[in-house]
Amino acid sequence: MQHGYWIRSKPIYHSLAWQYKAQAHVLLASGEGGRSVLRLYQQRLPDQPVTVLYLPAENEDYSAPLVTVVGTSLQVFPDARELWQRFDQVLQQSRMGTRLYAAGTESFLWQATTLAVKHGVLNADVMREQPASLARPVYCVHCKTTTHGVTTNIAVCAGCQRHLFVRDHFSRRLGAYMGLMIDAEDPGNVPDAEEVYP
Amino acid sequence: MSALNVIVSNIELVADGIRHFTFIAADGGELPGFSGGSHVVVSMPAGNRTYRNAYSLLSSPADRSNYQIAVRLQEQSRGGSRFMHEQVKVGTRLDISWPVNLFPISRVGHQHILVAGGIGITPFMSQVHDLLRTGAGFELHYAFRSPRHAGFIDQLKQLLGNKLVCHDQSQGQILDLHALLSRQPLGTHVYVCGPDGMVDALIATAHELGWPDAHIHNEEFLAPPVGEPFTIRLRQSQKNVDVGAEVSMLEAMEAAGVDVPYLCRGGACGRCELEVLATDGVIEHHDHYLSDAEKGAGKKIMPCVSRAKCSFIELNL
Amino acid sequence: MNNLAYKHETFRDDYTYRNSPDAIRRFPFPFAEDHYMYSVNIEQHQPGAKGSIVEHAFDIDEHYVSECEDKLITLGQDKGRYAALPHMMDAQWDFLELSMESLSRDYPHLFTLTKDGERWTWRNGPLGIEDSFVFGDAATLPLEPFEYMGRQVQGDFVLLDQREGTLFADAGFITSQADWSLAFDVGMSWHEWHGPVPQVEKMGIMDRALKFLMSLQQGNPVRRLNWTMTINPRLDTSPEHFPEWGPDKLKVTAQNAGEKAHLRVELQTMFRLPRSNAILFSIRCYLISLEELATYPRWAKRFHRVLRDLHPDLLEYKGIKVYHEAVLAWLSQHDDGAELALGAHPE
């Protein structure tokens, strides 16, 4: 976090809410995002067809209640590759007026958005909810590797092992925050990392 | 703002009440390039006043040897379209602005649906050239009252083949907006230009079907409406400018030698926005630019199309 | 006339870059007053005084050949300094056309462009380049059109696509940036891209600048100056290579600041492009050491006062904080406190 000013590239997330003017609805969720889908189903259901694609995570598996609540509109996937493949097909067949919703980790939200953008969807057309962890995907500007699930303000890059300061500056195209070597000016002088994105 | 000096090289009647003008550069050289959907503002010196109207460029952007515009004679013309129809001849010299594009094709769109009603075909005339050149997927839907009202129809048929879909109302062919907008793949953008009723119906249908706003594009240039006369007080330049019933605030200030920046002169672009300091009446906002909240607050005005019902309005200029 | 006897000099390692007296004299010193605050400060980019940096659309100066060589070194180390999203091809050709037509018109003894319909031939004397190609057919050029000419014009370039009520930085050629990353920022909207600029949001300046640029007209380009500081005459002060240049910031002392610390001024010019309706944002970097700057005493005095009173957020954002005191100590020797007339002129 940086003090003094708010960085406007940082995305703001909302609780999912049905967009009732629509031709169809496609929901994409992973892990804790399953709870967001359950919460959405507490609201009045829309008249149009709904498709829910769900990827359970370790210790975060809402498949059972989702089967009960969502019924035949639900598809559960054993791994991410199959989920993205299916989502790609769904996008291919969808018409304008199909509302897109995503809930999950920040990495997941932007993987979903990036795939949709390949089909001509605009960033703003996707409604996103970040239900639980604030963990960040961090892009290392030095070696261009993205490290996922960063919960601290300073993190070790999975690619080049540099200590990166996690800036609030966010790229929607990369789906990640900027990471910049923290001890570049004074090598070896790395402050203690603090958990600020639990 | 620098102007382009052009000479009228050809005039044709292309449909009932619609004249088609061709301009070439007065110096005989090339005219500036432009992108599909662009317009120019034509200055028309009529006696002691100058009209300035925006007209879409019709020709292929790749052809810099000439510009083409179409002007429909407006029945309630304040004088601009009548000037173009009655005063302008082959050989007439005119000043026009550099091309401006307020109605561009989205370059990130995957499919484009163009919907024209009557004279609203004009901004699409240049866009189809760009779409053909880049190979983007598109359809042009052209609705008109009868073949007599369908300007450029032969040219479009030849250029577009089955990408052109005509809706001839005299043959009972009604454009079914709901059917059209409900069958488009994700990533489609829709563009509309035509009578108010058609534009409103298309936007409402798209919203009802769940199209996000950023995929819906419309061009609505307004002609400045007439009203009652009033006076503008300019705070900084310490001038009073009288606005006649049939003159816009912008035109009145220009005639008084006040330099006001502008682009579209149709209430769309926001360039001529001015700050209102006081008035003893009510502002009549006619633009599409200010939000409802801004219009309600009464602190801003677009002098190209808006006016006031008052004896005076004071502006920070 | 600007002296075009190109110098062989370096912007890295041994840093042999220096300004001739002529180059110092035409340096775009940006401070007309003793106090600096961020502003839009945009003016028409009309041809300026003969010999000045704004005489022509694009300024070519004594550093031309060495700067173009430095671009190639940086690109060789990191291909990500050039990026163009696929929908920007029309804007790429617009850039090629604007740069070739401007350079051949303004510097006919250095650059020539001949056209035979769509068949164009480009000759760049100083860099020894000659190519014939078909305008609009990227396969006939050795590189994409934007990268091809980006390598042959001093400065950095961003192409902005206008849609969704804003501008998107959808292509860039960036080798001399003041600490921002093209690989990270490409594709961002205006407000995302300027997200890290402090003290600015609250004044609504970015909103006003956006509104202004969205209605920028063909045939009416505009310009503004921006500034920061750089230690050593280094063009590539990128976040990517921060580990290479960051440590230099801690080596500045009151004794060596005159030689090491440089004022870095960007001439930013903005053009509406015809085919694409995109905006070209060009960022041309001028570097001058404090010693060179102090050859005009009023510049040293004024810069001392500006830096002394700069808002802490701006010191942080511009990365000056770590060597602020050393630079002030060096500059204070040149400031007798005498009142200075308004204006950025050298004498």
Query: What is the arithmetic mean of pLDDT over C15-33?
Result: 96
Burial category of B114 from C-beta neighbours within 10 Å (exposed 0-12, middle 13-18, buried 19 and up)? buried
Same domain, B238 and B302: yes
Same domain, B88 and B151: no
- pLDDT (tens digit, 9 = 90+) per residue, C147-165? 999 999 999 999 999 999 8
Burial category of B11 from C-beta neighbours within 10 Å (exposed 0-12, middle 13-18, buried 19 and up)? middle
SS (H, E, C) B286-301: CCCCCCHHHHHHCCEE
C42 Cβ contact partners less than 8 Å away, ≥ 6 residues apart: C209, C212, C222, C223, C224
Write the CA distances from A63 to A58, A67, C4, integer angstroms. Answer: 12, 6, 72
Residue C4 pLDDT > 90: no
Note whether residue B80 is domain-resident.
yes
Read off the DSSP letter of residue A60. Answer: B
Catalytic residue (one of C123, C224, C298, C308): C224
Average pLDDT for chain B? 92
pLDDT value at residue B137: 96
Q: Which residues pair with A186 in a beta bridge?
A: none
Read off the DSSP letter of residue C71. Answer: H
Chain B positions in Cβ-Cβ contact with residue C212 (cut-off 8 Å) = none
Query: What is the arithmetic mean of pLDDT over B182-204?
Result: 96
Note whether residue B258 is domain-resident.
yes
Same domain, B268 and B303: yes
Note whether residue B11 is domain-resident.
yes
* Tokens encoding C235: 């063009």
Percent of chain C, pLDDT > 90? 83
Closest CB to B107 among C87, C215, C218: C87
Write the CA distances from B174 to B62, B117, B146, B168, integer angstroms. Answer: 34, 11, 12, 7
Note whether residue B224 is domain-resident.
no
Chain C positions in Cβ-Cβ contact with residue A4 (cut-off 8 Å) = 198, 313, 316
Residue A105 pLDDT > 60: yes
**A96: closest chain B residue by CA:** B186
Same domain, B271 and B308: yes
The closest alpha carbon to B124, from B108, B103, B149, belongs to B103
Spatial contact of A178 and A198, defined as CB atoms under 8 Å apart: no
Q: How far is Cα B100 from Cα C50, in angstroms, rounded to an integer?
A: 31
Q: Do C274 and B271 touch (CB under 8 A)?
A: no
Q: Do B61 and C90 touch (CB under 8 A)?
A: no
For chain A, list residues whose CB is within 8 angstroms of any CB belonging to chain B.
19, 21-23, 91, 94-99, 116, 119-122, 124-125
pLDDT value at residue C1: 41
Q: Give the Cβ contact number of residue A84 at 10 Å.
A: 17
- pLDDT (tens digit, 9 = 90+) per residue, A41-51? 999 999 999 99
The residue assigned the tokens 């889908």 is: A37
Note whether residue B240 is domain-resident.
yes
Which domains does chain A carry? 24-129 (3.40.50.80), 136-181 (no CATH)
CATH of the domain at B206: 3.40.50.80
Same domain, B129 and B214: yes
Spatial contact of C247 and C66, defined as CB atoms under 8 Å apart: no
- pLDDT (tens digit, 9 = 90+) per residue, C80-108? 999 999 999 999 999 999 999 999 999 99
Q: How far is Cα B127 from Cα B120, in angstroms, rounded to an integer?
A: 13
The residue assigned the tokens 């701006």 is: C314
Residue C202 pLDDT > 90: no
Residue B316 pLDDT > 90: yes
The closest alpha carbon to A33, from A7, A4, A12, A62, belongs to A62
Same domain, B90 and B133: no
Q: Give the Cβ contact number of residue C171 at 10 Å.
A: 31
- pLDDT (tens digit, 9 = 90+) per residue, B65-114? 999 999 999 877 677 888 999 999 999 999 999 999 999 999 999 999 99
Q: Residue C224 catalytic?
A: yes
Q: Is C203 or B61 the better-scoring residue by pLDDT?
A: B61
Spatial contact of C200 and C37, defined as CB atoms under 8 Å apart: no
Angle at C110 between CA C108 and CA C114, to 5 degrees: 55
Query: What is the arithmetic mean of pLDDT over A173-179?
Result: 94
Q: Do C316 and A4 touch (CB under 8 A)?
A: yes
Spatial contact of C162 and C277, defined as CB atoms under 8 Å apart: yes
How many separate domains does chain B show? Answer: 3
Average pLDDT for chain A? 93
Helix (H) or strand (E) holding A140: strand A136-140
- pLDDT (tens digit, 9 = 90+) per residue, C59-86? 999 999 999 999 999 999 999 999 999 9
Q: How far is Cα B73 from Cα C246, in angstroms, rounded to an integer?
A: 67
Note whether residue B166 is domain-resident.
yes
Spatial contact of C300 and C338, defined as CB atoms under 8 Å apart: no
Domain endpoint, select from B77, B101, B125? B101
For the sheet with B137-144, list strands across it: B164-168, B137-144, B111-117, B188-193, B216-218
Same domain, B90 and B122: no
Q: How far is Cα B90 from Cα B8, in angstroms, rounded to an integer?
A: 5
Same domain, B118 and B187: yes
Percent of chain B, pLDDT > 90? 75
Residue C195 pLDDT > 80: no
Spatial contact of C54 and C47, defined as CB atoms under 8 Å apart: yes
- pLDDT (tens digit, 9 = 90+) per residue, C298-333? 999 999 999 999 999 889 888 999 999 999 999 999
Q: Do B111 and A120 touch (CB under 8 A)?
A: yes
pLDDT value at residue B79: 77
* Domain containing residue B292: 230-315
Note whether residue B186 is domain-resident.
yes
Closest CB to A8 among C186, C191, C246: C191
pLDDT value at residue A55: 98
* Tokens encoding C19: 């300004």
Touching subunits of A (3+ CB pairs, under 8 Å) are B, C
Residue A5 pLDDT > 70: no
Q: Give the Cβ contact number of residue C194 at 10 Å.
A: 21
Q: Is C324 on the interface with A (CB under 8 A)?
A: no
Q: Is B255 or B138 the better-scoring residue by pLDDT?
A: B138
Percent of chain B, pLDDT > 70? 97
Same domain, B35 and B134: no
- Cβ contacts from B onto C, under 8 A: 52
Q: How far is Cα C272 from Cα C94, in angstroms, rounded to an integer?
A: 10
Domain endpoint, select from B101, B130, B164? B101
Q: Do B210 and A121 touch (CB under 8 A)?
A: no
Spatial contact of C209 and C39, defined as CB atoms under 8 Å apart: no
pLDDT value at residue C262: 98
Same domain, B120 and B159: yes
Least trusted range by pLDDT, from A53-67, B10-24, C32-46: C32-46
Touching subunits of C (3+ CB pairs, under 8 Å) are A, B
pLDDT value at residue A3: 39
- pLDDT (tens digit, 9 = 90+) per residue, B25-42? 999 999 999 999 999 999
Query: What is the arithmetic mean of pLDDT over B217-243?
Result: 87
CATH of the domain at B294: 3.10.20.30
Of the CA atoms within 13 Å of residue C231, those in its CB half-sphere come to 23
Q: Do C246 and A170 touch (CB under 8 A)?
A: no
Total-model pTM: 0.91
The closest alpha carbon to C286, from C96, C73, C60, belongs to C60
Same domain, B116 and B213: yes
Q: Give the Cβ contact number of residue B74 at 10 Å.
A: 16
Q: Please, which pLDDT band fits residue B1 given cuts at 50, 70 and 90?
A: low
Angle at B202 between CA C161 and CA B158, to 5 degrees: 75
The closest alpha carbon to A136, from A176, A78, A84, A99, belongs to A176
Amino acid at A134: L
Burial category of C205 from C-beta neighbours within 10 Å (exposed 0-12, middle 13-18, buried 19 and up)? middle
- pLDDT (tens digit, 9 = 90+) per residue, B306-315? 999 999 999 9
Q: Which residues pair with A52 in a beta bridge?
A: A27, A74
SS (H, E, C) C123-177: EECCCCEEEEEECCCHHHCCCCHHHHHHCCCCCEEEEEEEECCEEEEEEEECCCC
pLDDT value at residue A2: 39
Domain endpoint, select from B55, B71, B101? B101
Interface predicted TM-score of the whole assembly (ipTM), two decimals: 0.92
Note whether residue B9 is domain-resident.
yes
- Please, what is the angle between helix B122-134 and helix B153-160, to 10°? 10
Spatial contact of B51 and B250, defined as CB atoms under 8 Å apart: no
Query: What is the arithmetic mean of pLDDT over C209-229?
Result: 89
Amino acid at C139: A
Q: How far is Cα B1 from Cα B40, in angstroms, rounded to an integer?
A: 13
Same domain, B242 and B187: no
The closest alpha carbon to C78, from C242, C280, C208, C268, belongs to C242
